[in-house]
Amino acid sequence: MTKPVTPAQPLPKIGFLYLDHVLRFFDKSNFKGWPDPIESVTYHWGNDKARFIREVKQKGIQVLIGNVPATAYETFRDIARQLPGVRFVPSLDTQFANKSKENVTHFCRKHDLPIPTTHIFYEKDEALDFLQSTSYPKIIKKSYGPSNYGGYFVHKVDSFKEAQALIGQKKYYPVYVQEFVPMAADIRVMLVGHKPICAFWRRPPAGHWLTNTSQGGSMDYLDVPKEALDIAVRASQAAQAEYWACDIALGTDGRFRILECATAFAAFPYVRDWIGQYIMWMLAEDTFKKPYIPLFNWEELGKIRSSLLRTMRHITFGEYTPSYDCADSLAGVSREQYPLLPVELRDGEEWPSEYWNFQDNYTPQTLSRPIPDLHLEHQEIGLEDAQQDDTDILQAPQVSYSKAQLEAFLAGIKGVGPKMITDIFTTLGVEGLSLALTQDPEQLMQVKNLREKKRDLIVSHWGEFTGQTQHFAPA
Ligand SMILES: Nc1ncnc2c1ncn2[C@@H]1O[C@H](COP(=O)(O)OP(=O)(O)O)[C@@H](O)[C@H]1O
Ligand SMILES: [Mg+2]
């Protein structure tokens, strides 16, 4: 039982930002102990801006919490402008890097964060000129778009001929070219309030260069180097991020470089609980306790089977008191090295779209004279796209399952009827259901009439169905 809280001051009215067909990062259970009702507002895609804004105003929401998927990013920059009295958590500036790899590059360059040398071209001819005279191997990636996951749109090219064939075939826009960094492994760091709260290695399968665990790589939590944590903290601070994840490559040259960073990432439910507790404290310091999250907790939690970690909730730790024989002082590590900090609010916009939305603004004359209304690559948002997009930059389904496979699986569970199966597909879609089953069973709770017992039933059947052979983890 949680004690009811009596706020020292009236609390701000908070609401969740949801989008149709997009997996939800937060729900009320992540904000355990918040005494007031929490609103939610759902964006329905298409032409829904004005209605969305009206609903936020009608509900009197002061703080709107949630991730915006890449394909809705520009729309929400506009919405945020039209709601100047509403605080978006994370802010749209913080979510700038969620939109595209190009934006990650701009963000890291501006804030002096290490990245692989990168070239971005809006003119195919300029791209070809560059590719003709550069050295190889190179990496070419899709910068923006749905289904941006799992290394699927990341290509290694060994010659100009290969590069030319690739960009002819893929038509990526812009053309995003990166030096190929030979690497031992990369490191995923997750942060809350600029404090690393989880970190692990992602190692490629033998003889391969892709480290995405969805491509068969492995993960472990041991001895994550401090330098990687420091870079992740700097990035989180530069983004003013309430929560944040960073993928950092460790090159065989011993240097660290950021590959991806975003507020949208695959997170175990307990991580989302910690974020919720942090946001509550940040919004009402006098009423809520600052969550205590020990540094290197992941080395201990990482020993727990990940199928269990996927369902564990509300993990709390006792306050740490050092003792004389404490191992930390011997190791010279200070537990307060990475304090949990509030984010500082900025005035004005850091990444106004009139300038930074090159994808839509680019005209051949010059990058510095954008024409806002020229849509070079207008994308219709399909249901599947939207779904995949929330899994966004840092998340990947382990394996994709076909609708037929998933239907067969569900139909085989005693207690799950045809009506529920239909509801599951309508609510989550094929991709969403795959993600729910492989990474995030909590998503099943969105389905009408599906309660905890049924969720657990489905999850346990899933374990049998797949033989639990996969190594479950955020990919
Ligand atoms: N410049 C690079 N050099 C070598 N390997 C890379 C490079 N960029 C990406 N990779 C590999 O490809 C994987 C996927 O790339 P990433 O940029 O994370 O795209 P995504 O995860 O969206 O597919 C990385 O985890 C890493 O293993
Ligand atoms: Mg990646």
pLDDT tens-digit map of 121-168: 999 999 999 999 999 999 999 999 765 456 788 999 999 999 999 999
**pLDDT at 408 > cutoff 90:** no
Asked if the peptide bond before residue 174 counts as cis, ω within 30 degrees of 0, the response is yes
Closest CA to 111 of 199, 30, 231, 245: 231
CA 457 / ligand 2 centre spacing (Å):
32
pLDDT tens-digit map of 23-74: 899 999 999 999 999 999 999 998 999 999 999 999 999 999 999 999 999 9
Residue 336 belongs to some domain of the structure: no
Around ligand 1, the residues with Cβ closer than 6 Å are 116, 139, 141, 148-151, 153-154, 178, 180-181, 183, 186, 209-212, 247, 259-260, 393
Domain count within the chain: 3
- CA of 447: how far to CAs of 111, 415, 432, 442, in Å? 42, 15, 12, 10
Burial track 252-288 (b if 16+ CB lie within 10 A, e otherwise): eeeebbbbbbbbbbbbbbbbbbbbbbbbbbbbbeebb
Specify burial of residue 213 (Cβ count, 10 A radius: 0-12, 13-18, 19+): buried
**pLDDT at 358 > cutoff 80:** yes
For ligand 2, an ion, list residues with CB under 5 A. 260
Verify that 162 and 78 share a domain, yes or no: no
Closest CA to 108 of 262, 335, 296: 262
Verify that 418 and 283 share a domain, yes or no: no
Verify that 367 and 412 share a domain, yes or no: no
**Is there a contact between 22 and 68 (Cβ–Cβ < 8 Å)?**
no
Verify that 90 and 100 share a domain, yes or no: no
Residue 342 belongs to some domain of the structure: no
Residue 247 belongs to some domain of the structure: yes
Residue 423 belongs to some domain of the structure: yes
**pLDDT at 447 > cutoff 50:** yes
**Structural domain range at position 450:** 403-465
**pLDDT at 301 > cutoff 70:** yes
Verify that 141 and 246 share a domain, yes or no: yes
CATH number at residue 413: 1.10.150
CA 235 / ligand 1 centre spacing (Å):
18
CATH number at residue 111: 3.30.470.20
Of the three residues 94, 117, 136, the one that is the final residue of a domain is 94
Looking at per-residue confidence, does 211 or 155 come out higher? 155
CATH number at residue 34: 3.40.50
Quote the pTM value.
0.80
Residue 330 belongs to some domain of the structure: no
Verify that 42 and 174 share a domain, yes or no: no
Alpha-carbon distance of 202 to 219, in angstroms, equals 5
Give the pLDDT confidence score for residue 152 in this predicted structure: 80
Verify that 235 and 366 share a domain, yes or no: yes
SS3 state at 354: helix
Q: Residue 151 CA: which ligand 1 atom is closest?
A: 23
Of the three residues 377, 395, 413, the one that is the final residue of a domain is 395
Segment (H or E) for 209: none
Residue 209 belongs to some domain of the structure: yes
Verify that 89 and 102 share a domain, yes or no: no
Q: Residue 180 CA: which ligand 1 atom is closest?
A: 3
CA 151 / ligand 1 centre spacing (Å):
6
pLDDT tens-digit map of 246-277: 999 999 999 999 999 999 988 999 999 999 99
Verify that 184 and 260 share a domain, yes or no: yes
Of the three residues 63, 94, 125, the one that is the final residue of a domain is 94
pLDDT tens-digit map of 77-125: 999 999 999 999 999 999 999 999 999 999 999 999 999 999 999 999 9
CA 189 / ligand 2 centre spacing (Å):
12
The residues facing 139 across adjacent strands are: 156, 178
Q: Residue 182 CA: which ligand 1 atom is closest?
A: 4
* Structure token pair of residue 246: 């960073």
Verify that 437 and 373 share a domain, yes or no: no
Verify that 141 and 177 share a domain, yes or no: yes
Percent of the chain with pLDDT over 90: 61
CA 1 / ligand 2 centre spacing (Å):
40
Residue 244 belongs to some domain of the structure: yes
Give the pLDDT confidence score for residue 148 in this predicted structure: 47
Give the closest residue (by CA) to ligand 1 atom 10: 210
Residue 40 belongs to some domain of the structure: yes
CA 20 / ligand 2 centre spacing (Å):
25
Looking at per-residue confidence, does 313 or 475 come out higher? 313
Given pLDDT bands bounded at 50, 70 and 90, which one contains residue 329? low
Q: Residue 178 CA: which ligand 1 atom is closest?
A: 1
Verify that 206 and 127 share a domain, yes or no: yes
Give the closest residue (by CA) to ligand 1 atom 16: 151
Ligand 1: residue of 144, 259, 265, 398 to mutate (most ligand atoms within 8 A of CB) is 259
